[in-house]
Homo-oligomer: A and B are copies of this chain.
Amino acid sequence: MSGVRRFSPDAAGDFAWADVERLRYKDEGSAPFRDITRQVLFAQPDQDCELRYFEIAPGGYSTLERHRHTHAVLILRGRGTVRLGASEQPVTEHDLVTIDPLTWHQFHAAPDCALGFLCLVSRTRDRPQLPTAEEAAQLARR
C-alpha cells in the first residue's frame, strides 16, 4: 500500500525500518557465514525484483558462493571488501557492485566497522552454489 516506512536505526546504530523484519541471513549450518542479517525492503507483487538490505557486523562475512542470477549492490553503510572472482576490492558508502552470473563473491565487513548494503535480485532465481574444497583453496591462493 502507498506510504512511507520510516528509517529507525536501533540503539546500537544498526539499520532498521518501521514494519520491516530483521531476518536471519540463512539457516544456521547451511553454509559458512558470520554476523549477518537480512531485511526485505521491497517485494512488490507487480515487480519481478526484490530489494533486500544485508548488514554485516564488524569482522563478519557473507557466504562465499556463486549462482546464475546477478546481484546489483549499493553499499549503504560502512566499509569492507568484496571478493569478485580472483580479485578482492575495498568498498565504502554508496559504491556500486555488479556481480555477474557464476562469479564467486563474498562480502567482508571491516574489522572495526559494520558493512550494510542493498542487494537487488530477481524474484525467481537459482540456489547459490558453494565452492568445493579445491575451488576454495584455489580462490584463497589468488
- Residue ranges of A at the interface with B (Cβ–Cβ < 8 Å): 1-7, 15, 17, 20, 41-42, 44, 46-49, 51, 69-70, 72, 74-76, 82, 84-85, 89, 91-101, 103, 105, 118, 120-122
Contacts and interface: CB of A to CB of B under 8 A. Distances in A.
Given A47-B70, A47-B72, A42 B3 contact: no
18 contacts: A2-B98, A5-B95, A6-B95, A7-B96, A17-B94, A17-B96, A42-B72, A42-B120, A44-B70, A44-B72, A47-B48, A47-B49, A47-B121, A48-B49, A49-B122, A74-B118, A76-B94, A118-B118
A133 to B, nearest CB: 24
B49 A85 contact: no
A96 B47 contact: no
Q: List 6 A-B pairs, minimum CB-CB distance, nearest first.
A: A7-B94, A49-B49, A42-B72, A48-B48, A5-B96, A2-B100
Contacts of A47: 48-49, 70, 72, 120-122
Contact of A49 (B84, B93, B120): B120
A1 B98 contact: yes
A87 to B, nearest CB: 9
